[in-house]
Amino acid sequence: MNSTYFYKSALALAILGLAACKPTIDVPAPSKGTADFTRYIALGNSLTAGFADGGLSLEGQQNSFPGMIAEQMKAVGGGSFSTPFFPADKANGTGYLKLTALTNGVPTIVPETSNTAVRGSQGGVTLYTKYTGEINNFGVPNIKLAHARIAGYANANGLYERLLPGEYGTNPTTYLDFATAKPWTFFSNWLGNNDILAYATAGAAGAPPTDKGVFATEYNAVIAKLTSTGAKGVVGTIPGVTSTAFFNTVTLKTILAAVNATPAGASVKDIYIQPGVGQARAATVGDLFTLPLGSANLIGVPTGGIPYGLDPRNPVASQYVLDKAEVLIVNDYINSYNNTIKSIANAKGIAIMDGYTLLNEYAAGKHINGIPVSGAFIQGNLFSLDGIHLTPLGYAITANAFISAINAKYGSSIPVVDISKYRGVKFP
């Protein structure tokens, strides 16, 4: 029948046409809003540099959050973005930690020491191969906010020294002056973590945190400089230190469980610690132990016949413990610093990425794009093997939080990073 032929042909044509008929979703048009992303500079510490697994390596630098943001900014007028990469033949940079085995769930973590960029050492400062090109990512591990305007700081920090021209000890340029030497149109500033972090990770046994008043003065000075040319920017608040894997992997419970599992320690009920102030005492759940205590293998080892940590006469040293009084001090400083950061940023009308809330939220456990993320050591996907710095996935989550803060403040439409492209901890 002719009609049959007609209908069959019509159907065949219709089927052919189907491949083209895709649904569409309206996406926001690219817009820089009221900001200008032509030259973006990133100031900050290890978190800005891409530090991970206890070190700074080329891979870490390539997964820094400012690098991710800059790549996304290109859709809305962002310019080129340079990171002071380690050369490929010295890709392991400072060296870093590697997970080499997981035996019945117990990790073996060893340092990677080959192909580092170490060029020498002077006055106790490790020096690294100099970088001479353009820089947009000024992240320098270990730098405190309090260091930003100190002349000669490079003499104390080899990872800053490697960025400066001249031999060691000859360049007094302050960090803030160096980062702002060339004109910029947009900035991110995530300084401030180390002003409290170093105090906390040393079990409050080392140098005191930066004074709150000094912190406010310095923060004001840094932001005044960064906004002095009319540039817009974003700042980050300081993440909670006590919610990191560094303080939540070795706990009173895990120590007791390990001790109780040994024949001699089966009846042990208390672990004794040396708090920052006062006599040695039994630890409580409110006292936090540092991650290095786990690998130090000290617990129960006798000194002068007295087992370490199991007797008030040989308590766990203060450097491995952030006791509950010290936890309060650390949290009080973070709270004060963050209030300073927010009030200064608000006064200047710049965007705020609330790193404190963000990392607490993910550390508590949350799925993103189907990936389970939590503060748990190794399997949490958020913290790298040092328990404090982030994995590439953690940095991607942070990059998106910065992007959201920028877009919300300036009406721009920087597209978010596809976080599913970034890894958590690398397993052997």
Partner 1 sequence: MNKILLSFFLAIPVFGFSQSFQVNLQGQKQTAMGGAGVGLALDEAAVFFNPGAVSFLKNNGVQAGINGIWLKTAFNQAGSSITEYNKNKVPTPAAAYAIFGSPESRLRFGIGVYTPFGGAMHWKEDWSGKFTVTALDLQAIYIQPTLSLKITDEIGIGGGLVYALGKVDLQMSVPYTSNGQQATVKLKGDAKDFGWNAGIFIKTISGVSVGLTHRSQVSATVKNGDAIFTNVPSSVQPLLPASFNATLPLPATSTVGFGFYPSEKTTIALDVNWIWWHTYKELAFYYNNGNSTISARNYHDAATFRAGIQHVASSFLTLRAGAAYALSPVGEGYVTPEVPDANRILLSAGIGLKPSERFGIDFSFLYENLKSRTETNIESGLSGTFKTVAYIPGVALSYKF
Is residue 426 part of the contact set for partner 1 (CB under 8 A)? Answer: yes
Return the number of the residue (123 or 428) whose C-beta is nearest partner 1.
428
Tell which one of 24, 114, 228, 267 touches partner 1 (CB under 8 A).
Answer: 24
Binding mask 57-96 for partner 1 (x = CB under 8 A): ------------------x---------------------
**Minimum Å distance from CB 259 to partner 1?**
9
Tell which one of 55, 67, 192, 294 touches partner 1 (CB under 8 A).
Answer: 294
CA-closest candidate to residue 127, choices 154, 96, 146? 154
Residues 342-401 close enough to bind partner 1 by CB under 8 A:
366-372, 377-379, 381, 393, 400
User: Residue 136: phi, psi to the nearest 5?
Assistant: -115, -35
Is residue 428 part of the contact set for partner 1 (CB under 8 A)? Answer: yes
Tell which one of 91, 97, 99, 125 touches partner 1 (CB under 8 A).
Answer: 99
207-216, long-range: CB < 8 A, 24+ apart: 209/329, 209/330, 209/333, 210/144, 210/145, 210/146, 212/333, 212/336, 212/337, 212/340, 214/146, 215/145, 215/146, 215/336, 215/337, 215/340, 216/340, 216/344
**Minimum Å distance from CB 246 to partner 1?**
11
Using alpha carbons only, give the angle 356, 416, 39 rounded to the nearest 5 degrees. Answer: 85
Altogether, the residues listed in the chain come to a count of: 428
Is residue 230 part of the contact set for partner 1 (CB under 8 A)? Answer: no
155-161, long-range: CB < 8 A, 24+ apart: 155/123, 155/125, 156/125, 157/125, 158/125, 158/126, 158/127, 158/128, 159/49, 159/56, 159/94, 159/128, 161/125, 161/127, 161/128
Tell which one of 249, 290, 338, 384 touches partner 1 (CB under 8 A).
Answer: 249
Return the number of the residue (11 or 181) whose C-beta is nearest partner 1.
11
CA-closest candidate to residue 238, choices 82, 386, 105, 46? 46
Listed ranges 124-132, 166-174, 192-200, 413-421: which one lies at the site for partner 1 (CB under 8 A):
413-421
Return the number of the residue (258 or 325) whose C-beta is nearest partner 1.
258
Please check whether residue 92 is in contact with residue 115, taking contact to mean a CB–CB distance below 8 angstroms.
Answer: yes
**Minimum Å distance from CB 20 to partner 1?**
10
Using CB under 8 A as the binding criterion, the count of chain residues that bind partner 1 stands at 64
Is residue 97 part of the contact set for partner 1 (CB under 8 A)? Answer: no
CA-closest candidate to residue 415, choices 68, 22, 72? 72
Return the number of the residue (55 or 424) whose C-beta is nearest partner 1.
424
**Minimum Å distance from CB 270 to partner 1?**
17
CA gyration radius, the chain: 25
Tokens of 364: 């508590």
Return the number of the residue (21 or 277) whose C-beta is nearest partner 1.
21
Distance, in Å, from the CA atom of 428 to the CA atom of 422, rounded to the nearest integer, reads 17
Report the interface residues with partner 1, using CB under 8 A: 1, 3-4, 7, 11, 14-15, 18-19, 21-25, 27-28, 30, 75, 99, 101-102, 104-107, 249-250, 254-255, 258, 291, 293-295, 297, 299, 366-372, 377-379, 381, 393, 400, 403-404, 407, 413, 415-416, 418-421, 423-424, 426-428
